[in-house]
Structure 1
Amino acid sequence: MRLTKRLAVGVALSIFSYQLFADTSVVSDEQKATAAQLMESALESDLGFDIVESLTTEIGPRLGGSEAEKRARDWGVKLGKKLGFDKVSIEEFTMPFWDRGHLHISLNTPYQQALYGTALGGAAPSEKSIQTEVVYFRDIHALSEVKPGELAGKIAFVDGDLLVKSQTGAGYGQANQRRRKGWQYAERGNARALVVRSVGSDSRRFPHTGMMSKDGDKWASIPVIAISNPDADHLRRLHNLGKPLSLTLHSESKWKGDVSSGNVILDLVGSEKPEEIVLIGGHLDSWDLGTGAVDDGAGIAITTAAAALISKLPKRPKRTIRVVMFGAEEVGLLGAFAYAKQHEDNLHNHVVATESDFGAQTIWQLVSNVNPEATLLIDEIAKVISPLGIVRGGSDVPGGGPDIIPLVEQGVPTIRLNQNGRDYFDLHHTPDDTLDKIDPDELAQNIAAYAATIYLIADSDVVLKK
């Protein structure tokens, strides 16, 4: 099946390479032919899957600031050198380190039952085991209305609903408010702890972790636990029966001081305009429950493999292609902000930026946020990659990916190769984020799209900045 799928697309690309679009001043026939060649090579290559297999197997989970994340940086340097990048380096930065520690959580009343939960990033420990009454809130809006001291001595539980599976991940931002801001309302009510329904679209007994938001400079001073969706369903049913609820929990999560992290930088130096940078990448860290295959080992593999294929061309593209393996994304985009700060005097030379960080399913759409002349270039690129099943989306769509946000704030143009995210929030931040969830053919399609797109931008003279 795998070969059949790849060859089917390969035949389409072979035909396409001989039926080039009319010559334009934006993209030449020769460049289109090279892009088609890159797509063919990507669809037949196992490099991307080999990369994500190596990262998840040899390094495993890579919590931001941990020893495992450091091993991942060393792995990234070794990989970059092996693949023949012209420049390979680590840019270090300092960050606070939060450790999950041990957690126990169980239903105590109306009967004993173990629950499946996980501490949320930034949560405080419990001084000792907590066993107390639960106050039920249907959603974050109900909790937001709690009065000062109203929850004294109790545990607040914020329910919600399963995310609806969608190609775009719509609904995640709003649902995620219970994870990010719920603790602030719970503390106002003087709760001893907060428990929330996991933000996910799955019905497995796997809890979803994730980082909470600060309130100014303040982190939570209480334990904050996400429980699996089936466990949240169970608590809702008990509440609807009018049963009194109590939980027992003990959490050891806490901050452990400042540590070093870093971004791994892999450069293919441009042949004519080496100072101009086309930046792509993913984040090297992961949450520690799974092995970070989908989030974001896949993004590391896609962008690194795409650039590695371009490196095999007889001549480097005109502009420099830079792959950034961002550190400490999950705990607050810390590597992204560090990169923007460390390169603030050279951001004007960043031609465009984009990130792969939405799983490993196929790319279906190309969007951009560049100037009108450059929009013509992106339109032509969309035609080139259309045999991969990719359509042209909006031409005034801000974004580029989470780690690109600090660059966008400084005026760097962006594109985004949007992936199908229907399975993403089944796996996102859970123990189920493992290598077996990645389809090698879908990963190869991503790499083909990135290789062609980034090559055509890097080999262009078009200015993308608005």
Structure 2
Amino acid sequence: MNRTLTALVALSLCVPAAANVPPPLDLAQRADLALASDNHAYAFIEGLTTEVGPRQAGTEAEARARAWAVEWLKQYGFENIAIEPFMMDTWVPGDIAHARVTGPFAQDLEVLPLGNSAATPVGGIEAEVVYFRNVDELRAAPDGSLKGKIAFISHAMSRTQDGSQYGFAGPARWVGAGIAASKGAVGAVIKSVGTDNHRNPHTGGTSFPDGITPIPAGALSLPDAANLERMFARAKGRPITLRLEMNPRQLGPKESGNVVGEIVGRNPSLPPVLLACHIDSWWNAPGAFDDAAGCGIIIAAARSVAESGRPLRTIRVLLAGAEEVGLFGSTAYSKAHLAEPIAVGIESDFGADRIWRFDSNFRETNPVLHKKIASAVARFGVSSGTDVAGGGADLNIVRDQKGALIDLQQDGTRYFDLHHTPDDTLDKIDIVQLRQNVAVWTQVVGILANEETAILTGTPIPAAPAIMQSN
């Protein structure tokens, strides 16, 4: 921490400081300082990924992450810090994941199991593969047509700034295995839902309809999926066979939990500003982008606002657990706190690259506040959007309350190169872009936390965007 920040922290915590220390910076100056030099968010990401690493929901590693986050919040002056536990059905990936084309072009493929999928028998399964270019082709397959076969489900995802292609390609993972199982398949493999060219499969959750027994399901790396597609083009009608072996398992109910902490406002009776992220990750990566970065951003921004003076409203941070495997933390938090009004909710869960657009769901119902925020963040290169904000995955409580939401849209161009892969590591964090996030969040949160009037919304809030419905 440099001398200026040390002095500011001392002042904000009412610690006596030297007489020549300048007065605290105002909100805009704090935001500008964050842009120039903030390292708190990076320090959080570095610490969590180094000292805890991968944080699969419901496991001992996720519990260590909660304890680690509690100590961090204490160190940085948060109050009312708590772990709020809940129980969840817990799936773990096992330690075997093999896929091999056995004919006619015999070779190994890189594969990872999908969350909630079943294990193969010991030694694996071997069956003919049926290729579907997308989920719609799979849906159109006759009932029973996949009996005894393995479905291979592809897609044509491309990079976008707003991440909208996730909603287009995501069903291959979200529902593909379940549809294949309902048509008799003994297994399924998908082209990873991602945009990189590394031999790293992108894992993530899948689901099975009620009454359908889960089957073994895995994600192939994008280069291996492309190779399999070329095999089908070259086979000229000859059957392609695949041997698949994986040993994930269900552990039954295990404890997860949410971590909460507050910067208590001058008027704690006012509904708080809720800042959300998620603390868990998949087992195959330390989750620097997804979502250690988001937690680092919201904590750094909350502290930055406090260092400009105690805000009117309380700022509450929610580090949700078990997001990746089904938004269990978000659901549990809403169930436990639904009767407690939230002024406005914001989430950071789309990496650490620059914020480029601001949306709210009160653009029409509170245009003065919307314009005030838009004007304040314009100097950081953030435009004012016209979409109705739907909020992030861990803001169920705000959607359930039909409350005010803000989306600070991050640049997702490279997000799906890293998403749910072993490549989601600390070295991918761009410190300049990370600081821009903290600066924008500082400005926005500071305005909201000092808003005296109710932040009302009469605009219908849409369901969580497709990009947020499943991870």
Whether TM-score is above 0.5 comes out as: yes
- Structure 1: which amino acid aligns with 2:261? L
CA distance in 2: counterparts of 1:307 and 1:383, whole angstroms: 20
State whether structure 2 residue 148 is matched by structure 1 residue 134: no
State whether structure 2 residue 227 is matched by structure 1 residue 234: yes
CA distance in 2: counterparts of 1:249 and 1:202, whole angstroms: 23
Q: Which residue in the other structure is 1:28 paired with?
A: none
Pick the aligned partner of 1:260 from 255, 261, 268: 255
Q: Which residue in the other structure is 2:439 paired with?
A: 448
Against the structure 1 CA distance between its residues 51 and 220, is the aligned structure 2 distance closer, same or farther, given a 3 Å change threshold?
Answer: farther
CA distance in 1: counterparts of 2:217 and 2:446, whole angstroms: 45
Q: Which residue in the other structure is 1:93 paired with?
A: 86
- Structure 1: which amino acid aligns with 2:412? G
State whether structure 2 residue 37 is matched by structure 1 residue 48: no
Q: Deviations over 1:45-93 (max 9, x none)?
A: 2111111000111100011111100000001100000000122111111
Q: CA deviation at 1:172?
A: 1.1
Matches within 5 A, 1:206-355: 206-216=200-210, 220-242=213-235, 244-313=239-308, 315-346=309-340, 349-355=341-347
Q: CA deviation at 1:37?
A: 2.7
Q: Which residue in the other structure is 1:358 paired with?
A: 350
Q: CA deviation at 1:323?
A: 0.6
Q: In 1, are the aligned partners of 2:178 and 2:212 still within 8 Å (CA)? A: no
CA distance in 1: counterparts of 2:311 and 2:115, whole angstroms: 41
CA distance in 2: counterparts of 1:141 and 1:196, whole angstroms: 14
Pick the aligned partner of 2:183 from 175, 178, 189: 189
Q: Which residue in the other structure is 2:372 paired with?
A: 380
CA distance in 2: counterparts of 1:415 and 1:234, whole angstroms: 42
CA distance in 2: counterparts of 1:323 and 1:42, whole angstroms: 21
Q: Deviations over 1:429-466 (max 9, x none)?
A: 11111111110111011001111110111011131122
3-state SS of paired residue (1:319): coil
Aligned length: 431
Q: Which residue in the other structure is 1:157 paired with?
A: 152
Q: CA deviation at 1:370?
A: 2.0
3-state SS of paired residue (1:441): helix
Q: Deviations over 1:269-310 (max 9, x none)?
A: 110244411000210001111110001110010001111222
Q: In 1, are the aligned partners of 2:87 and 2:254 still within 8 Å (CA)? A: yes
- Structure 2: which amino acid aligns with 1:207? P
3-state SS of paired residue (1:205): coil
Q: CA deviation at 1:106?
A: 1.3
Q: CA deviation at 1:189?
A: 2.1
Q: In 2, are the aligned partners of 1:352 and 1:413 still within 8 Å (CA)? A: yes
Q: CA deviation at 1:219?
A: 6.8
3-state SS of paired residue (2:423): coil
CA distance in 1: counterparts of 2:330 and 2:176, whole angstroms: 26
Against the structure 1 CA distance between its residues 45 and 105, is the aligned structure 2 distance closer, same or farther, given a 3 Å change threshold?
Answer: same
Q: In 2, are the aligned partners of 1:96 and 1:257 still within 8 Å (CA)? A: yes
Q: Which residue in the other structure is 2:428 paired with?
A: 437
Q: CA deviation at 1:242?
A: 2.4
CA distance in 2: counterparts of 1:450 and 1:428, whole angstroms: 23
Q: Deviations over 1:363-399 (max 9, x none)?
A: 01111012746331121122112111111112x5131
Pick the aligned partner of 1:463 from 446, 454, 458: 454
Q: Deviations over 1:85-111 (max 9, x none)?
A: 122111111101000012111111113
CA distance in 2: counterparts of 1:373 and 1:103, whole angstroms: 52
3-state SS of paired residue (1:211): coil
- Structure 2: which amino acid aligns with 1:454? V
CA distance in 1: counterparts of 2:366 and 2:454, whole angstroms: 6
3-state SS of paired residue (2:389): coil
CA distance in 1: counterparts of 2:172 and 2:88, whole angstroms: 25
- Structure 1: which amino acid aligns with 2:401? Q
- Structure 2: which amino acid aligns with 1:93? F
Against the structure 1 CA distance between its residues 111 and 464, is the aligned structure 2 distance closer, same or farther, given a 3 Å change threshold?
Answer: same
CA RMSD of aligned residues (A): 1.8
Q: CA deviation at 1:145?
A: 1.7
Task: Choose 149-158 or 321-330, whichever is displaced more.
Answer: 149-158
CA distance in 2: counterparts of 1:372 and 1:269, whole angstroms: 30
Against the structure 1 CA distance between its residues 384 and 36, is the aligned structure 2 distance closer, same or farther, given a 3 Å change threshold?
Answer: farther
Against the structure 1 CA distance between its residues 322 and 172, is the aligned structure 2 distance closer, same or farther, given a 3 Å change threshold?
Answer: same
Q: In 2, are the aligned partners of 1:123 and 1:219 still within 8 Å (CA)? A: no
Pick the aligned partner of 1:79 from 66, 72, 88: 72
Write out the 4+ residue segments of structure 1 that deviate beyond 4 Å after TM superposition. Answer: none
- Structure 2: which amino acid aligns with 1:403? D
Q: CA deviation at 1:36?
A: 3.0
Q: In 1, are the aligned partners of 2:48 and 2:292 still within 8 Å (CA)? A: yes
Pick the aligned partner of 1:408 from 385, 396, 399: 399
CA distance in 2: counterparts of 1:370 and 1:261, whole angstroms: 34
Q: Which residue in the other structure is 1:392 paired with?
A: 384
- Structure 2: which amino acid aligns with 1:425? F
Q: CA deviation at 1:149?
A: 2.2
- Structure 2: which amino acid aligns with 1:145? A
CA distance in 2: counterparts of 1:214 and 1:134, whole angstroms: 20
Q: In 2, are the aligned partners of 1:39 and 1:449 still within 8 Å (CA)? A: no
3-state SS of paired residue (2:88): strand
CA distance in 2: counterparts of 1:318 and 1:391, whole angstroms: 27
CA distance in 1: counterparts of 2:82 and 2:270, whole angstroms: 17
Q: In 2, are the aligned partners of 1:36 and 1:452 still within 8 Å (CA)? A: no
- Structure 2: which amino acid aligns with 1:312? E
Q: In 2, are the aligned partners of 1:38 and 1:448 still within 8 Å (CA)? A: yes
3-state SS of paired residue (1:403): coil
CA distance in 1: counterparts of 2:37 and 2:98, whole angstroms: 47
3-state SS of paired residue (1:206): coil
TM-score, normalising length: structure 2:
0.88
Q: Deviations over 1:199-227 (max 9, x none)?
A: 111121111111113424x5752101110
CA distance in 1: counterparts of 2:248 and 2:368, whole angstroms: 51
